[in-house]
Homo-oligomer: A and B are copies of this chain.
Amino acid sequence: MSPTRSSFIIGVDLGGTNIVVGAMPEDGSREIAFRSSPTRASEGEDSVVERMIQMIEDVIAVTMAETGAPRANFLGVGIGAPGPLDRELGIIITAPNLGWKMFPLRQRIQAATGLKTTLDNDANCATMGEAWTGAAKGAKNVIGVTIGTGIGGGIIIDGRLYHGSSDVAGEIGHMTIDSTGRRCGCGNYGCLEAYASGTAIAERAREALAGETDGVLLAMCDGQLSKVTAQMVYKAANEGDLIAVDVVRETARFLGAGIGALLNVLNPEVVVLAGGVVNAGEALFAPLKVEIRRRAFAPAVDACRIVPGMLGGSAGVVGAVAAFKAQTGTFATS
């Protein structure tokens, strides 16, 4: 342990299930003291915020101990949180998974820690993380597609997060891929999310399993269809279960329609698929690439890598640090 002159930034990824906090030096070269703790949103806003603050202070203490840096070397806190939110005011407008409305999160964290704090959308942060130090490192034009319970997204244009005119940009899960198709939770019909989110994958698997009497996937859920998850489907597909392979291939077709459209419209260098879907591996990625090539213009396909995220559960924290840098200076991924 030797004293350092590095400056550090704290990243916070506030999710409906977990809070992840960690520190990074300004240049993004290391992840320090990353830790995760259950959000327990049901305990109320104050309790969650208290825990966030405690985690931030823990990370600062560990980082100071590890690096010898004084507290003055901590430049601030970047938070990634579910939206819609108002970046400028630092307010979460509404976060259904947390039960929060018009919550001044930035001000609360800033007041408690005495550190400059920024707020950005969690899916944006995850994309920014992958573009800063992960699977899309150094790329200028990047689309992040995070597939978990829903489908979130982030768009990086010219090395910077693109937020759009009212901070809505990047809602990739809510592109229509079948205009008369499945009703989506958002009210629209035929959204990508209604077909290819983890929730939709599990639902389609349940439909496909109805009436079946054996198979790997059916064994995994002990024959109880209500227990089927997307993760089980990925695992069963990689073990060769025919129904699971079919459901994953169909998922690739839906994702291919959405991502193919994004290639034609935004012509990115990299599309990073992140979230639980990374575990689907080649059972998903191989047919997905075929589908995208079938649907999008060749020069757009040739210019684009389709890759799984590399940062896993750290992406949101890394991206929150990058978003802090972007909001307080002139940061870009390239």
A residues lining the B interface (CB < 8 Å): 84, 140-141, 153, 155, 157-158, 162-172, 174-180, 186-190, 253-254, 257-258, 260-269, 294-297, 299-300, 302-304
Partner of A299 from the list B167, B190, B264 (CB cut-off 8 Å) is B167
Interface centre among A153, A190, A265 (most CB of B within 10 A): A265
- Say yes or no: A165 contacts B258, CB within 8 Å: no
Tell me the complex Cα distance, A294–B191, Å: 13
- Say yes or no: B300 contacts A264, CB within 8 Å: no
- Say yes or no: A177 contacts B174, CB within 8 Å: no
Given A187-B294, A299-B167, does the pair A176, B177 have CB atoms closer than 8 Å? yes
19 contacts between A and B (CB under 8 A): A84-B299, A141-B165, A157-B158, A164-B266, A164-B268, A164-B300, A165-B269, A169-B267, A171-B297, A172-B265, A175-B261, A176-B258, A177-B177, A177-B179, A178-B178, A178-B179, A179-B253, A186-B297, A187-B295
Q: How far is the CB of A302 from chain B (nearest CB, A)?
A: 7
The interface residues of chain A, by DSSP majority, are classed as loop
- Say yes or no: B188 contacts A260, CB within 8 Å: yes
- Say yes or no: A188 contacts B157, CB within 8 Å: no
Partner of A260 from the list B163, B167, B176, B304 (CB cut-off 8 Å) is B176
Q: How far is the CB of A218 from chain B (nearest CB, A)?
A: 28
- Say yes or no: A265 contacts B165, CB within 8 Å: no
Tell me the complex Cα distance, A303–B86, Å: 14
Interface centre among A163, A164, A297, A303 (most CB of B within 10 A): A164
- Say yes or no: B296 contacts A188, CB within 8 Å: yes
Known: A166-B299, A176-B258, A262-B265. 9 other contacts (CB 8 A): A155-B266, A157-B158, A165-B267, A167-B267, A168-B297, A171-B265, A172-B265, A174-B264, A179-B257
